[in-house]
Amino acid sequence: MPASVLVPTDGTASVATMTSDTQDHTAKSATYPPPERLVNPEGREKPWVSSMAEYEALYNESIQQPTKFWTRTANELLTWDKPFTHVSLGSLKEGNMAWFPDGQLNVSYNCVDRWAIQDPSRVAFIYEADEPGNATTVTYGQLLAQVCSLANVLRSFGLRKGDTVAIYMPMIPEAAVAMLACARLGLVHTVVFAGFSASSLAERVADARSRVVITADEGLRGSRTIRIKAIVDEALKSCPEVERVLVFRRTGNETVEFTAPRDVWWHEAVAAQRPYCPPVPVSAEDPLFLLYTSGSTGKPKGVVHTSGGYLLGAALTLKYVFDIHDGDIFCCTADIGWITGHSYVVYGPLALGSTSVVFESVPTYPDASRYWKLVEDHKITQFYTAPTAIRALRRHGDDFVNKCDLSSLRVIGSVGEPINPDAWTWYSEVVGGGRCAVVDTYWQTETGSHVITPLPGATLAKPGSATFPFFGVELAILDPTTGAELEGNDVSGVLAIKRPWPSMARTIAGDHKRFLETYLSPYPGYYFAGDGASRDSDGYYWIRGRVDDVINVAGHRLSTAEVESALICHHAVAESAVVGAPDEVSGQSICAFVTLKDGFEANDTLKAELVKEVRTRIGPIATPKTLILVDELPKTRSGKIIRRILRKVVAGEGDQLGDLSTLSDPSIVDVLIREVSTAI
Ligand code: PRX
């Protein structure tokens, strides 16, 4: 029996809706060959993979001779303290995967020391601060000293290998220093996006059992001040086990509360430490970090990534997918609070000894040229952002792009949500000037690194398709109901992966059972990604969106159950149902339906209070764009809310509701359609 996850709580698999446009724009969509400047790179090195034949040869080797492929790549890209003799153990069926299990390495040594020893003046980070014109650099030599001093501070707190440290910081190089200092000692970091509220932070700190939190006084984004330390103080009221809070001074606002001896200033603590700390070798399978992500239920999951396999996945994908060569300047605009920031701001670029841009601001500050000015100023060669940003910037018009010199760019990437062909084409033609390869990379927090992606010098791209599997990733499309693998092309179903790959998550912190139930048991022998997908007649993969109760707002993954639980905390709320509504800029937006308890009156003040409740409990990223107070929700006779109907109504498909016979009161549908049409 396939997964209960496939059948949302209202008992309706959503695969049918996701396949509706499968055949329309797939095989016959426009294709884009690799651009001339990659194919014939005058004066530069050839792309790592420069034809489909080369891609296929490497891909086939990774599948047919995995030991040979992974031994070579793991030894080429990583430095091991103790070489591994065995590539992998375990299976998806058992959920006991391990990669390079007898190998030992240190992630911070791989990311910092190797390059600092070779050339300490090589630039590791270009830090573009919130206020434009304030860029600074951190060399590998400086990074080594900073990471070591901080590691010594953490050691002085009594932290030892395996302990967890929470990091709640703005997008500044010190956030990466904090991650690398943990890695140096074999500590497990858990970075919490600094847009999450105090209660979300508290939940994560407690679940991860962190005794130390690393933070900053305040953050700055688009000239707005974010009172980060105040949020930490609020969160820690319910986390008595936290003994130390290390505070980096970002803005220097003197009014920030400071509670000694718990709170320690970063600059004072590091000044007292020796700027060298020997790296602690760890097993390839020792955890490097936990990262919380939303699932189908309300409670976020602490996804566990390990040291060896994860680092290899981040480095290998970055090298091939963005075609990184010596001297390249790579810029990924994601926050380090998300997996994209982990893999492609910090670990991937540094493991390759590359230069990575840390961008603190927002794309529209001071105006919609910010990203493009960034590219011009730093001669960025590869740029990686989310479709939401691309769509939003496109609305501001081409002039903001055209006035900047983007000639340094070779590869431009997209991640986090499906990119519609229109936005893809604008990105390629206006930002890329027709000279760049566009890589639409599909992956997840759990996959650690790209799993479906074009390779810039090889793949004939189709706008909107993530194209083909990365090395070592064997994909399958399954029938959602029977679980049978759908062979051949022109098929739609749910996306699954047939064999373990090095950077896949190994477990959920403290809950291996949930790991198995979520990813491995739904279709035994497969990793179940939670997305619908199709394979067109040319074998290209098209991601169709989530098939569970996860929604993707501006590339941020949220569970509808989490938002519903926040709403229900308000004393006036009787019931709530949250669905994703299509949104031109953010892909999806949050639409909440709420019924009130007797005695409460529906009015705008109450609506504003409910929105505030969600922002306080989860954070601004979960703000409902639409909140509709209704008398009743659509339910089955047994009282289950039928979210399928709400999804259809908010998508403007109120005339395609299908079978309504399970509804206890079918007349409710017209009321809902009316309510939604006035609200949206
Ligand atoms: O639904 C897919 C979507 O984002 C989900 C993963 O979210 P998260 O773990 O937060 O990681 C985001 C960054 C890797 C996926 O299950 N997604 C991610 N990339 C794409 C995508 N959907 C379509 N196309 C993509 N390129």
Q: pLDDT digit string (tens) for 26-40?
A: 557 789 999 998 988
pLDDT tens track for 209-243:
999 999 999 999 999 999 999 999 999 999 999 99
What percent of the chain is modeled with pLDDT above 70? 96
pLDDT for 428-472, tens place per residue? 999 999 999 999 999 999 999 999 999 999 999 999 999 999 999
Whether the Cβ atoms of residue 424 and residue 464 lie closer than 8 Å to each other: yes
Which of 442, 453, 586 to mutate to test ligand 1, by most ligand atoms within 8 A of the CB atom? 442
Contacts from 11-17 at CB under 8 Å and sequence distance 24+? 11/636, 11/640, 11/642, 11/662, 12/642, 12/643, 12/644, 13/480, 13/481, 13/547, 14/532, 14/547, 14/644, 14/647, 15/480, 15/492, 15/493, 15/494, 15/532, 15/547, 17/647, 17/648
d(CA 204, CA 198): 10
Establish whether residue 293 lines the binding site of ligand 1, counting it when its CB lies within 6 angstroms of any ligand atom.
yes
As a whole number, mean pLDDT of residues 551-559 equals 91
Q: Compute the residue count for the chain.
A: 680
Tell how strand 382-385 and strand 329-332 pair up.
parallel
Return the ligand 1 atom nearest residue 543 CA.
Answer: 23
pLDDT for 26: 59
Q: How many CB atoms lie within 10 A of CB 318?
A: 28
- Protein residue whose Cα sits closest to atom 15 of ligand 1: 444
User: From the CB of 210, is ligand 1 less than 6 Å away?
Assistant: no
**Residues 603-617, mean pLDDT to the nearest whole number:** 96
301 Cβ inside 6 Å of ligand 1: no
How many angstroms separate the alpha carbon of residue 674 from the centre of ligand 1? 33
Rounded mean pLDDT, 195-204: 96
What residues have CB less than 8 Å from 13, skipping those under 6 apart?
6, 7, 480, 481, 547
Contact 320, 311 (CB under 8 A): no
Task: Using a pLDDT cut of 90, give the percent of the chain over it.
Answer: 87
Are 329 and 378 a contacting pair, CB within 8 Å? yes
Distance 680 CA to ligand 1 centre (A): 26
Reading the block at residue 581, the tokens are 């509504």
Asked if the model's pLDDT at residue 4 lies above 80, the reply is: no
* Average pLDDT of the residues in 369-395: 97
The answer to whether 606 and 600 are in contact (CB under 8 A) is: yes
Is the CB of 519 inside a 6 Å radius of any atom of ligand 1?
no
Residues 633-657: what's their mean pLDDT? Answer: 89
Looking at residue 85, the DSSP 8-state letter turns out to be S
Helix extents (H) in 380-439 = 387-395, 399-402, 421-426
Q: With 80 as the cut, is the pLDDT of residue 8 above it?
A: no
- Ligand 1, atom 7: closest residue by C-alpha: 444
* Residue whose CA is at the smallest distance from ligand 1 atom 11: 444
Q: Which of 193, 318, 444 to mutate to test the pocket of ligand 1 (most atoms within 8 A of CB)?
A: 444
Is the beta carbon of 286 within 6 A of some atom in ligand 1? no
Residue 27 is predicted with a pLDDT of 59
- Residue 335 Cβ inside 6 Å of ligand 1? The answer reads no
Quick one: angle between helices 173-185 and 140-156, nearest 10?
60
Task: Give the per-residue pLDDT at 5.
Answer: 34
Q: What is the pLDDT of residues 284-305, one digit of tens each?
A: 999 999 999 987 777 899 999 9
Q: How far is the CA of 516 from the centre of ligand 1 (A)?
A: 20
- Check if 559 has its Cβ closer than 6 Å to any atom of ligand 1: no
Cα-to-chain-centroid distance, residue 196: 15
Place of tokens 């890589």: 439
Write the CB contacts of 631 (distance below 8 Å, at least 6 apart in sequence).
Answer: 595, 671
- Mean pLDDT in residue range 394-406: 97
- Ligand 1, residues 552, 556, 560: which to mutate, most atoms within 8 A of Cβ? 552
pLDDT tens digits for range 77-99 = 999 999 999 999 999 999 999 99
Confidence bin at 7 (pLDDT 50/70/90): very low
340 lines ligand 1 (CB under 6 A): yes
**What CA–CA distance (Å, rounded) separates 249 from 240?**
24
Q: Which residue, by CA, sits nearest to atom 23 of ligand 1?
A: 418
Task: Indicate whether residue 552 lines ligand 1 (CB < 6 A).
Answer: yes
Residue whose CA is at the smallest distance from ligand 1 atom 14: 444
Ligand 1 centre from 529 Cα, in Å?
A: 10
Helix (H, G, I), strand (E, B) or coil at 70: helix
The pLDDT assigned to 16 comes to: 33
DSSP one-letter string for 475-513: EEEE-TTT--B--SSSEEEEEEESS--TTS--EETT-HH
Q: What pLDDT shows up at residue 6? A: 38
Does residue 366 have a cis bond before it (omega within 30 degrees)? Answer: yes
Quote the DSSP letter at residue 640: -
Distance from Cα 81 to the centre of ligand 1, integer Å: 34
Residue 441 near ligand 1, beta carbon < 6 Å: yes
Q: Which of 519, 543, 546, 548 to mutate to test the pocket of ligand 1 (most atoms within 8 A of CB)?
A: 543
Determine if ligand 1 sits within 6 Å of the CB of residue 360.
no
CB-ligand 1 contact for 317 (6 Å cutoff): no
Flag whether pLDDT at 670 surpasses 50: yes
Sequence-distant (≥ 6) Cβ neighbours of residue 166 within 8 angstroms: 189, 190, 191, 192, 201, 204, 205, 208, 210, 212, 213, 214
The sign of the dihedral angle between the CA atoms of 553, 555, 560, 562 is: negative
pLDDT, position 658: 82
The dihedral formed by the CA atoms of 407, 410, 415 and 421, expressed in degrees to the nearest 10:
80
Question: Which atom of ligand 1 is nearest to 414's Cα?
Answer: 26
Q: Is 531 in the pocket of ligand 1 (CB under 6 A)?
A: yes
Cis peptide before 363 (omega within 30 of 0): no
For ligand 1, whether the C-beta of 505 sits within 6 Å is no
Q: Which two tokens stand for residue 56?
A: 């296929």
The answer to whether the CB of 621 falls within 8 A of the CB of 556 is: yes
Atom of ligand 1 nearest to the CA of 452: 26
Alpha carbon distance 35, 41 (integer Å): 10
What is the residue with the minimal CA distance to atom 10 of ligand 1?
A: 557
How far, in Å, is the centroid of ligand 1 from the Cα of 447? 10
Three-state secondary-structure class, residue 399: helix
- ipTM, 2 decimals? 1.00
Burial class (CB in 10 A: 0-12, 13-18, 19+), 518: buried
- Confidence label for 314 from pLDDT (cuts 50, 70 and 90): very high
d(CA 588, CA 586): 5
| CA of 334, closest atom in ligand 1 | 13
Residue 624 is predicted with a pLDDT of 97
Burial group, residue 645, by CB count within 10 angstroms (0-12, 13-18, 19+): buried
Q: Which of 289, 281, 286 is nearest to 189 (CA)?
A: 289
What local confidence, expressed as pLDDT, does residue 549 receive?
87
pLDDT range class, residue 555, cuts 50, 70, 90: confident
pTM: 0.94
